[in-house]
Amino acid sequence: MRVSDIPKIRSLMLFKDMDEDSFSELTRAAYVQDFPPQVDLILEGDRCDFLHIMIDGSLELFAEWNRHETALTILRSGATFILAAVVRDAPNLMSARTLEKSRVIMIPAEDVREIFQKDHEFARAVVMELAYCYRGVVKGVKSLKLRTSIERLANYLLKWQKKTGGSDSFTLGIEKRRLASILGMTPENLSRAIKTLRPYGVEIDGQNVKITDPDALKGLAKPSPLIDDPRS
Amino acid sequence: MRVSDIPKIRSLMLFKDMDEDSFSELTRAAYVQDFPPQVDLILEGDRCDFLHIMIDGSLELFAEWNRHETALTILRSGATFILAAVVRDAPNLMSARTLEKSRVIMIPAEDVREIFQKDHEFARAVVMELAYCYRGVVKGVKSLKLRTSIERLANYLLKWQKKTGGSDSFTLGIEKRRLASILGMTPENLSRAIKTLRPYGVEIDGQNVKITDPDALKGLAKPSPLIDDPRS
DNA sequence: CGCTATGTTGATCCATATCAATAAGTGTGG
DNA sequence: CCACACTTATTGATATGGATCAACATAGCG
């Protein structure tokens, strides 16, 4: 681990309130590694020996069954993954693969569990993080079960617009086929869904999105804070 | 709270390793309440003032959007709910309604958060429970996105058979329309899915299920420990 | 510059929802 | 205890969302 990484790590949700001793104990044990795009970091079914934390780049969590694959989420800088598996010392339910060149901190699961016992603030942060992840997945299920694919796409666009600063022009940031998988549809279907949204003021060219009539789009999407609000 | 409830509560995962002082502090603050069937205990969007724990009966967690409703899960004796919302002091993402006459412990959210800070073992149990819930939802998403409704039903039957003791005859335990909602389909479709499974040795009459050819059913269901194993 | 992966479009098929009618339970009050 | 109302389950007919297959276009990338 490079010294230059430390401040960035320290500022992450999970670590920012923990005491200095515990933090240096964790970082002493931790590795930082860089990966090129398209690398599988973990495989579903494997034991998880390390808690992973993204400090740069992006990756997708995905799962397979019966020769089919689906993406569950995209993670970016600051996100933790397989925390739940580490906590329960259980096999990973998802695989992870880098999408871009990525830098990842890996903390031995043993050390995480140990520090958890010693440091109240860290324990609190772990619980907050887990609860946050849980709520994220619950929102995802609600979206899947209650909405059509077009509604999911519309809400995704509105959410992503907000996350990228709110301008009416922004960029998708991921390949469409991955977006399709995240949203629970095929790439072909996503293409058609995009066309369907054109009358609602959505122009998508490659990765570039422009939302010219937000009200029309919102009218279709009917966003709800209990599904689409990333905070809370 | 009745004294007779205490041993039962103490034996629950969440409390069984915590120290005696913290436990009596929690139970002093807690209420136990009985509810008839079909009562809404919590409403999505509401602030959650209490952690809830089932000690008898059953209920469903469900959510609504745009005039549609879907059931996310059924909870029975021993299950906690809205732990994540309590931890984060955030609005509930799901509503809860009793299905049978049910007995529920309600612990003020404040006290939960307070004891969490004081008692390591309790903190550990909370994290384990949250991680367990998280993994449960992830398995649910995988099932929804990777399987057809018939495959989901087949796996549900196998899982439920195991949970009820493994006999080839068992009872569903819930109304079919709720099962349909849990599995992400309409009641009409569930009826048809059941008929589709008949050639695979599945006989369902009312709530009574008989699985006469488990291998055939497993051949269709292709159960995976990473989706269908309730433990870990 | 050509190869390969990605995206688009069209045609068709399949799974699932919807609508409608009936049957079978379930509970309630007379 | 039965008759009635109401909810739940089943079945059939049909509509629709979404998947699949195939062809082609396009964009990255070596």
Mean pLDDT of A173-187: 97
Whether pLDDT at B155 is above 80 = yes
The pLDDT assigned to A2 comes to 81
Q: Are B104 and B33 in contact (CB under 8 A)?
A: yes
Q: Which bases on strand C have an atom closer than 7 Å to a protein beta carbon?
A: 6-11, 15-20, 25-26
**Predicted confidence band at B231 (pLDDT cuts at 50, 70, 90)?**
confident
Non-local (6+) Cβ contacts of A136 within 8 A are A73, A230
- By 3-state DSSP, what share of chain A in percent is helix, strand and coil, each rounded to 5? 45, 25, 30
Residue in the structure block whose two tokens are 């059953």 = B58
The pLDDT assigned to A64 comes to 97
Whether pLDDT at B4 is above 90 = no
Closest CB from A44, A64, A130 relative to B127: A130
Tell if A177 CB is < 7 Å from nucleic strand C: yes
H-state helical runs in chain B:
6-10, 20-29, 83-88, 109-118, 120-146, 149-163, 176-182, 187-196, 214-221, 225-228
Whether pLDDT at A1 is above 80 = no
- What does pTM read for this prediction? 0.97
The pLDDT assigned to B180 comes to 98
Q: Are A169 and A208 in contact (CB under 8 A)?
A: yes
Q: Tell me what percent of the residues of chain A surpass a pLDDT of 90.
A: 97
The pLDDT assigned to B165 comes to 96
Give B41-83 pLDDT, tens digit per residue.
Answer: 999 999 999 999 999 999 999 999 999 999 999 999 999 999 9
Token code pair at residue B208: 């009574």
Non-local (6+) Cβ contacts of A217 within 8 A are A154, A157, A158, A197, A200, A201, A202, A211
A127, A148, A182, best to mutate vs chain B, most B CBs in 10 Å:
A127
The pLDDT assigned to A157 comes to 98
Q: Are B226 and A93 in contact (CB under 8 A)?
A: yes
**3 state DSSP class of A12:** coil
Mean pLDDT of A4-27: 93
CA–CA distance, A225 with A222 (Å, rounded to integer):
10
Whether pLDDT at A211 is above 90 = yes
CA-based nearest residue in chain B for residue A68? B146
Whether pLDDT at B219 is above 90 = yes
Q: Can you point out the beta strands (E) in B2-121? A: 31-35, 40-42, 50-56, 58-65, 68-76, 80-81, 95-98, 102-108
Rounded CA–C1' distance between A78 and D9, in angstroms = 50
Whether pLDDT at B232 is above 80 = no
CA–CA distance, B191 with B204 (Å, rounded to integer):
10
Mean of the per-residue pLDDT values of chain A: 96
Question: Biggest alpha carbon distance in chain B?
Answer: 58
The pLDDT assigned to B79 comes to 96
DSSP-assigned letter for residue B3: G
Q: Are A183 and A156 in contact (CB under 8 A)?
A: yes
Whether pLDDT at B5 is above 90 = no
Give A86-121 pLDDT, tens digit per residue.
Answer: 999 999 999 999 999 999 999 999 999 999 999 999
Give A38-75 pLDDT, tens digit per residue.
Answer: 999 999 999 999 999 999 999 999 999 999 999 999 99
CA–CA distance, A214 with A202 (Å, rounded to integer):
9
**Predicted confidence band at B113 (pLDDT cuts at 50, 70, 90)?**
very high
CA-based nearest residue in chain B for residue A180? B145
Q: Are A80 and A131 in contact (CB under 8 A)?
A: no
Q: What string of DSSP letters covers B174-224? A: S-HHHHHHHTTS-HHHHHHHHHHTGGGTEEEETTEEEES-HHHHHHHH---
**Predicted confidence band at B184 (pLDDT cuts at 50, 70, 90)?**
very high
Task: Find chain A residues with C-beta within 8 A of B123's C-beta.
Answer: 116, 120, 123, 127
Token code pair at residue A85: 């598996």
Mean of the per-residue pLDDT values of chain B: 96
Q: Tell me what percent of the residues of chain B surpass a pLDDT of 70.
A: 100
The pLDDT assigned to A169 comes to 97
The pLDDT assigned to B178 comes to 98
What domains can you pick out in chain A, each with its CATH number?
3-144 (2.60.120.10), 148-228 (1.10.10.10)
Mark which residues 89-128 of B lie under 8 Å from A by CB. Answer: 90-91, 93-94, 116-117, 120, 123-124, 126-128
Mean pLDDT of B10-18: 95
**Predicted confidence band at B3 (pLDDT cuts at 50, 70, 90)?**
confident
